Structure 1
């Protein structure tokens, strides 16, 4: 009886230590090679999301100025890296958006506080720069139109 059991144990061979280490090494190298690709993809998606969110926030303040009242403003805080939509009539912040770490806002000719009139047109036109870790965008708010232009530099 004991000989049958010992034959079964000898028939069930597992992986050797060297085979296991070789497979773990191959997986480690594969993961290390793919991680930078995922990081750059993540940064690209995040950059697109932040730019689209900024466009939506500008559209929101234009909409609020046209439909509710012209007391809404878009306020940029370049030192702390955020912008907000502020309601001066009710004295409260509606939306505050913080930019990702490493991004910078540089106000060129655009004032730090931007107002839109009841037609959705900016009161004082100007330009600003939004710099990511890799790319710089020039954002222009022109006279007489209700849209802004975003150019990659």
Structure 2
């Protein structure tokens, strides 16, 4: 007596499942690019905020001027600490990020009191997005807004 065993999948069923998995993978890969761009911007602004606050705190603590410099045609910004033995902190940034200075020079100065030397506005461009950073006199704070 012959026993018939139907425990496997047909070729059509296997191809259908493979097609569904491929489509789901493709949709996931397509949606990764915007998430990656948002993460680059979020990481940059988070680090930049921490660095600006660090520069201010360092200026107050050591009663010295601290400079945040944006070298032209380099994808970095530098925090120059004038306290002996501390030197410079260099932060690399994404090559698509560019700085445009509206009414301030390409550097920021925190005085020993923690205030900014000058107030002003700078713009940050990332691909098709534009952000404005306004630095205020007084306590040395700043505001970031997307345009």
TM-score, length-normalised on structure 1?
0.82
**Which residue does the alignment assign to 2:47?**
53
Q: Specify which of 50, 55, 70 is matched with residue 76 of structure 1.
A: 70
Q: Specify which of 9, 15, 22 is matched with residue 15 of structure 1.
A: 9
Q: Which digits, 9 at most, give the CA deviation of each residue in 1:14-39, with x for residues without a partner?
A: 22333222211111111112223233
Distance 1:25 1:54, change over 3 A: same
Aligned-pair distance for 1:78?
Answer: 3.7
Aligned to 1:105, what secondary structure does the other structure show? strand
Matched, 1:110 2:104: yes
For 2:107 and 2:32, locate their aligned partners in 1 and report how far apart those are by CA, in whole Å. Answer: 37
For 1:89 and 1:138, locate their aligned partners in 2 and report how far apart those are by CA, in whole Å. Answer: 31
5+ residue gaps, structure 1, are none
Larger radius of gyration: 1
**Which structure features the higher share of helix residues?**
1
Q: How many residues align?
A: 146
